[in-house]
Structure 1
Amino acid sequence: MTGKILVSACLMGHAVRYDGRSKPLIHPAIDRWREEGRLVTICPEMSAGMAVPRPPAEIENSAAGEDVLAGTARVMEISGGDVTEGFRQAAENALALARETGCRYALLIDGSPSCGSGFIYDGSFSGGRHPGHGVTAALLQHAGIEVYSDREIDRLVVRLAAD
């Protein structure tokens, strides 16, 4: 068996998103990987003690997860609350779980200030988005874990077939 895959809990049907919903990813590979025992599920925010539902949060000023990790940007709630430390802890928790369970890959929900890997929202809470990584995706990638968004599952299938 090739490497294990860290996967966003919302993609597995768990109602853990900020709005109390899930965003299940329906794909034959998910079913196969589940049967093979390859999926390791986490909601980084919940692992750091964040509530469901919770206020929407975005990385400020069109910054990205790398900036949050470097201490040059914050993750802010729409209500004005600074949740940067919670998102940093969430990323550390996800990395620790990935290492403990031997995950070499991550399949994460795009757009999230934690898990986004293709795009994230720009911090204006207006729906504007830009290319970038969320805090968890940035930390995982920096640690050598290959990160794929939910829109890239077919790329991950091909990658695993070559593994």
Structure 2
Amino acid sequence: MQKILVSRCLLGHHVRYDGGAHGPFGVLQRWQAEGRIVPLCPEVAGGLPTPRPPAEIPGGQGAAVLDGVVQVVTVDGEDVTAAFVEGAEQALALVQRHGIRLALLKARSPSCGNLENYDGTFTGRKVAGEGVTAALLRRAGVRVFNEAQLAEADAALAELERGDGN
């Protein structure tokens, strides 16, 4: 059975930077009942507390963080790059351990965002980009979806189960 890595906040766990949560959504409840979900909050796994100050990536590019070009910083100016990279590496270890090929991660998160992120100015401005964990997983060949793409993720999972997924 194919497993899927899922952001813990999407499962209703209160691990977001502000102590909040989302979900769980119907599809996630089904996946959970089927035993498919491997839950993770990369930021908490990397050692950050809940709640914690908001953090953003200048330019919104998690790949640039992995390449050492930019840092992840909090609204207070604290460099939290090491925790974000550690959380991404823990996510990759789970993916490798469980043979995971799909991830459902929180949109616009500096860890998990897969299509867009905040630009690092803490003004709410969004840019095309991805979080640190999403970038590392994508580099490893994992398809990353967000909660607005649940139907697509479910279809991709079904393809993998049938043996005709990438």
Shorter-normalised TM-score: what interval?
A: over 0.9
Aligned to 2:38: 40
Instruction: Return the TM-score normalized by structure 1.
Output: 0.95
**Which of 124, 137, 140 in structure 2 is aligned with 1:140?**
137
Instruction: Provide the residue aligned with 2:21 in structure 1.
Output: 22
Whole-angstrom CA distance in 1 between matches of 2:65 and 2:132: 7
Contact residue 122 and residue 129 of structure 1 kept, 8 A: yes
Tell me by how many angstroms 1:31 deviates: 1.8
Task: Quote the residue 2:118 is aligned against.
Answer: 121
What secondary structure sits across from 2:117 in the alignment? strand
The Cα RMSD (Å) is 1.0
Question: TM-score w.r.t. structure 2 length?
Answer: 0.93
Q: Return 5+ residue gaps in structure 2 as ranges.
A: 161-166
Which residue, out of 61, 64, 71, partners 1:64? 61
1:39-88, CA deviations, whole angstroms, 9 ceiling, x for partnerless residues?
0000001111110000000001x140010001101100000100111111
Equivalent-residue separation in structure 2 for 1:92 and 1:134 (angstroms): 13
State the identity %.
47
CA contact (8 A) 1:117 1:133 kept: yes
**Whole-Å Cα distance in 2 between the matches of residues 102 and 14 of structure 1?**
24
Quote how far apart the aligned CAs of 1:112 are: 0.4
Question: What 5-or-longer segments of structure 1 have no aligned partner?
Answer: none
Between the two proteins, the alignment pairs up a number of residues equal to 160
Rounded Cα–Cα distance in structure 1 between residues aligned with 2:24 and 2:7: 10
Which of 94, 97, 102 is residue 94 of structure 2 equivalent to?
A: 97
Shift of 1:25: 3.9
CA contact (8 A) 1:63 1:73 kept: no
One-letter amino acid matched to 1:99:
Q
Q: Secondary structure at the match of 1:147?
A: strand
For 1:79 and 1:123, locate their aligned partners in 2 and report how far apart those are by CA, in whole Å.
12
